[in-house]
């Protein structure tokens, strides 16, 4: 993916054929416990930052229809956690589990 700056925010890419902004997250499962909850330090620093990034990107997509936004996660625990979190904080984000091949 090539970095993409749009409306004052950075994205990991843009798929012009879909008018889709994209964000990719890799190797975040190490920051979650066995129950799928973020470990304390990640909850305080990482989760807050990622939810803020998602909310900001979501607002940009709202203001720039017909743009779409998709976040790709390489690992299942972080994918599951942020999929749930974005339902209320950034509902236009579509998440996809996309392991490295």
How far is 56 from 65, CA to CA, in rounded Å? 15
The per-residue pLDDT for range 45-69, each reduced to its tens digit, is: 999 999 999 999 999 999 999 999 9
Predicted pLDDT at 9: 95
User: pLDDT at residue 2 above 90?
Assistant: no
């Amino acid at each position: 993916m090539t970095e993409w700056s749009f409306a004052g925010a950075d994205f990991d890419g843009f798929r012009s054929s879909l008018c889709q902004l994209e964000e990719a997250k890799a190797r975040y499962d190490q920051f979650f416990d066995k129950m799928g909850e973020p470990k304390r330090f990640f909850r305080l620093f990482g989760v807050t930052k990622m939810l803020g990034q998602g909310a900001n990107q979501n607002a940009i997509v709202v203001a720039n229809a017909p743009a779409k936004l998709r976040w790709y996660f390489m690992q299942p625990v972080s994918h599951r956690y942020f999929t749930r979190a974005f339902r209320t904080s950034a509902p236009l984000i579509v998440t996809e589990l996309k392991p490295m091949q």
